[in-house]
Amino acid sequence: MNTTTDAARWVPAPGSVARHTWPLPARCAWWLLHRPALAVLLAAAVAVGVLAGPVLLGVGLVVIVAVLVVWWRVRPAGLEATAGRVLLGIWRSAWTYGARWRTAMMLSGLGGRFENDEYLPRVVRVRAGRWADRVVVRIVAGQQPADWARRADALAHAFGARAVQVRETGRPGYLELRVGRRDPLAAVVPALPVPEQIDLGALPIGRREDGQPWTVRLAGAHVLIAGATGAGKGSVLWSLIRAVAPGVRDGLVHLWVLDPKGGMELSAGAPLFRRFAYDSADDLATLLEEAVEVMNARAARLRGVTRKHTPSTDEPLIVVVVDELASLTAYADRDERRRINSALPLLISKGRAVGVVVVGALQDPRKETIPFRDLFPTRIALALVEAEQTDLVLGRGARQRGADCSRIPLTQPGTAWVWCDGEAEPTRVRASWVSDHDIAALADTYAPAHRGSGTGGRVVDLPPVEDSDGEAGAA
């Protein structure tokens, strides 16, 4: 097989070496130099063998193996988080990213020859994790991260991994490979505990691929949720509602909810809602127009007072939740569509600063369906029908960086790719699953003392909720 590729025209980068011209001892020394943990272990073993003899060395190795086996049987989690991770990193550094590295690079087209010398990307550091390995690589001159991203599938198969994601390090000439081993998102994420104190800048709604909590910013940020039928949009919506429930109870958060499907999807949480529209397009448009009026009035009150809205019982954060945006903008009648297309962009463009945010879900992310999707700073892409739709939701280049939402199986509802705050790369996440029982308990526990019940866009004030003694609760 001819492994010579476009790399034959590469110029060697500083630090790149044509290693096939070196003698074998020098190549082994170079290899160990970039694997210090393995080098230390080998040096220690040689020292013990020379000073104490091979018999004692063998006994010591047997004892160490026995201790590790007992540790693994008694406390596997403790071993995995400490010594097991170190040993796994040494093994993968020596085998997967060592002995098999040259073959993977040459056959995937990331290594090549120049003037009869062979040039390969160099492994700088390997950190084995519970769910994924992080491999820092010194690339060859003439390459760019996009070249590696195009070969991510080939690298995943070469490394025996679930997936490979290419990330920039911020240092020219270097990149990081995130080699996924185990999938922490394969199992259903149960409903998260309702927090005692809510942080509207980081609401926990699920789990990230690295095993850490997945949080979403709601204060000062609109949220767009896109996914095919059965992808788990409801999991994201209910996880968000669950996360803000204490604020709803205390009057710091008001939920204004639009359910174009006649209330079938979200009516179970109606006691939590201050406004609830579901009957007709006219009612939906009316509720949005009311939100615009509240936004404009609040902007007039806060003008010259503050540049950042702080939720309070007097000026709560208003969260406008729309279950299916396409039903509002694409399938409504002309007059209602005109009213909706006038109100929604105003809310999305002006509402963040004054504490009126929009959380919208939709199935079809095409431009003609939701023409103002670029106004959503936070976008969550669940399983999508077409690969190109990933870039429509997350932005151009997201799929090239590994976020292909068309590959998310519908058997894992709630799994998504998202741009997380403070990160330059998309992150794979999964929202928690909130059951009907969880929703009923949430509505009973966190319903506000005074609530509104919408007949479409018209709001009817209900009397205060009575406690068990028959006395009216506090307003």
What's the predicted TM-score (pTM) here? 0.76
Q: Does residue 175 carry a pLDDT above 90?
A: yes
CA-based angle 310:315:317, to the nearest 5?
65
* Range from 18-27, 143-152, 245-254, 260-269 carrying the lowest mean pLDDT: 18-27
Mean pLDDT of 313-321: 93
What the chain holds in terms of domains, given with CATH numbers, is: 30-180 (3.30.980.40), 203-461 (3.40.50.300)
β-strand 203-208 against 426-431: which pairing, if any? antiparallel
* Range from 118-127, 285-294, 340-349, 397-406 carrying the lowest mean pLDDT: 397-406
Output the average pLDDT for the chain.
Answer: 81
Higher model confidence: residue 332 or residue 341?
Answer: 341
Query: Which range, 88-92, 253-257, 276-280, has the best average confidence (pLDDT)?
Result: 253-257
DSSP letter for 433, please. B
For residue 224, the model assigns a pLDDT of 92
Higher model confidence: residue 138 or residue 462?
Answer: 138
For residue 456, the model assigns a pLDDT of 43
> Are 454 and 273 spatial neighbours (Cβ–Cβ below 8 Å)?
yes
Where does the pLDDT of residue 210 fall: very low under 50, low under 70, confident under 90, or very high at 90 and above?
confident
Q: Does residue 454 carry a pLDDT above 50?
A: no
User: CA end-to-end span of the chain, whole Å?
Assistant: 78
Share of the chain above pLDDT 70, in %: 83
Query: For residue 50, what are the contacts with CB-CB under 8 A and spacing of at least 6?
Result: none
Q: Which helix (H) or strand (E) holds 393?
A: helix 389-394
Rg, the chain, Cα only:
28
Where does the pLDDT of residue 271 fall: very low under 50, low under 70, confident under 90, or very high at 90 and above?
very high
Structure-token pair, residue 99: 């002995």
Mean pLDDT of 340-362: 90
Measured CA to CA, the distance from residue 54 to residue 70 in angstroms comes to: 24
**Measuring CA to CA, how many Å separate 6 from each of 13, 33, 106?**
15, 29, 11
Query: For residue 299, what are the contacts with CB-CB under 8 A and spacing of at least 6?
Result: 350, 353, 354
Q: Does residue 25 carry a pLDDT above 90?
A: no
For residue 17, the model assigns a pLDDT of 44
> Are 417 and 405 spatial neighbours (Cβ–Cβ below 8 Å)?
yes
Measured CA to CA, the distance from residue 434 to residue 442 in angstroms comes to: 10
Structure-token pair, residue 273: 């809602």
For residue 32, the model assigns a pLDDT of 66
For residue 227, the model assigns a pLDDT of 92
**Per-residue pLDDT tens for 60-113?**
778 777 887 777 777 777 767 677 677 777 788 878 888 889 899 999 999 888
Cα-flanking dihedrals φ and ψ of residue 394, to 5°?
Answer: -85, -20
For residue 47, the model assigns a pLDDT of 80
Tokens 């007709």 sit at which residue? 280
For residue 242, the model assigns a pLDDT of 95
**Per-residue pLDDT tens for 383-438?**
998 888 888 888 887 887 788 898 899 899 999 999 765 567 788 999 999 999 99
Q: Does residue 5 carry a pLDDT above 90?
A: no
Mean pLDDT of 437-463: 66
For residue 13, the model assigns a pLDDT of 42
Q: Which helix (H) or strand (E) holds 167?
A: strand 163-168
DSSP letter for 405, please. G
**Per-residue pLDDT tens for 212-229?**
899 999 988 899 999 998
Q: Does residue 4 carry a pLDDT above 60?
A: no
CA nearest to 322, candidates 249, 368, 265: 265
